Amino acid sequence: MLLNDRNAIIYGGGGSVGGAMARAFAAQGARVFLAGRTASRLDRVAGAIREAGGRAETAVLDALDEAAVDAHAAEVGQIDISVNVTSTYDVQGTPLAEMAVDDYLAPVAKPLRSQFLTTRAAARHMIPRRRGVILFFGGEGDKAANRMHRLGGLLAGFAAVEALRRQLAAELGEHGIRVVTLATSGIAESLPDDMPGAEEIRQMITATTLLGRAATLEDVGNAAVFAASDWARTITGASINVSCGAFLD
């Protein structure tokens, strides 16, 4: 198996994307550590993994809490894979000229803090072992997205996190640690049915692709396995485009 006996921390592991990655990692032999704020969601994903014969542990923590993140990483000890797919804290639908400054900055400051804390914790445990993979999810997308209206600080947040990813890749490469983004234009399947405008957004995501279909959660899990495995050992400081051609490199 591609990830046999590797330890993978998934922050936001109770969510749709985090759960898909966790199931895919476990199916390929990894021991997964699901971290998040809601025990019931984490337990549901962990239970499904165990029923399928995989190994999963859970921890309730806030990825914005420095002490909690560091303590959990120390408890895990050997960290081979780390990925953070927690909330983007975005506020959409309000023109920038009418938006409160805190609403604009939330999807910049909070995800950047969360990503910094979790990647720093992983790096500190990976450096002595001279190996490891840190994955990001989302990316910046097509620059044409900047023409979209009323996204608040979401795109600024994406750009800030990608800047962190590039700097981490540059600094950690000498220690044998790879840093990779799975770049997506959105996962239609992950949108809850009771979300206002969900079907319209699903159609929009699909309509922008070259393949006429959107990436599924299973696709995301499989791409994450590849990126975290030795099959991708030459890839770092880069994005893997899983947008079905919604944006071009």
For residue 241, what are the β-bridge partners?
183
What pLDDT does 30 receive?
Answer: 98
Find out whether 28 and 225 touch, Cβ atoms under 8 Å.
yes
**Structure confidence at residue 94 as a pLDDT band (50, 70, 90):** confident
What confidence tens digit (pLDDT) does each residue in 37-52 have?
999 999 999 999 999 9
Q: Which residue has the tokens 């927690």?
A: 86
Of 23, 31, 30, which is closest to residue 51 (Cα–Cα)? 23
Mean pLDDT of the chain: 92
Evaluate whether 176 touches 130 at the Cβ level (below 8 Å): yes
Q: pLDDT value at position 206?
A: 87
- Rounded to an integer, what is the distance from CA 108 to the centroid of its chain? 15
User: How far is Cα 217 from Cα 117, in angstroms, rounded to an integer?
Assistant: 26
Query: Cα(42)–Cα(39) distance, rounded to whole angstroms?
Result: 5
pLDDT by residue (tens digit) across 134-169?
A: 999 988 765 555 555 677 888 899 999 999 999 999
Residue 240 has pLDDT above 90, yes or no: yes
For position 38, what pLDDT does the model report?
Answer: 96
DSSP structural state of residue 88 = -
Q: What per-residue confidence (pLDDT) applies to 91?
A: 79
Phi (first) and psi of residue 26, to 5 degrees: -65, -40
Q: Which amino acid is at 163?
A: A
Which token pair is 62? 């806030």
- What is the distance between the alpha carbons of residues 113 and 62, in angstroms, rounded to a whole number? 11
**CB-CB neighbours of 90 under 10 Å:** 19
pLDDT digits (tens, 9 = 90+) for 11-65: 999 999 999 999 999 999 999 999 999 999 999 999 999 999 999 999 999 999 9
114 CB-near residues (< 8 Å, 6+ apart): 11, 63, 64, 84, 86
- Compute the distance between CA of residue 108 and CA of residue 110 in angstroms, rounded to an integer: 6
The predicted structure's pLDDT at residue 167? 98
Asked whether residue 174 carries a pLDDT value surpassing 60, the answer given is: yes
Q: What is the DSSP letter of 246?
A: S
pLDDT band at 118 (very low <50, low <70, confident <90, very high): very high
Beta strand pairing call for 31-36 and 55-60:
parallel
First-residue to last-residue Cα distance in the chain: 31
Residues recorded for the chain: 249
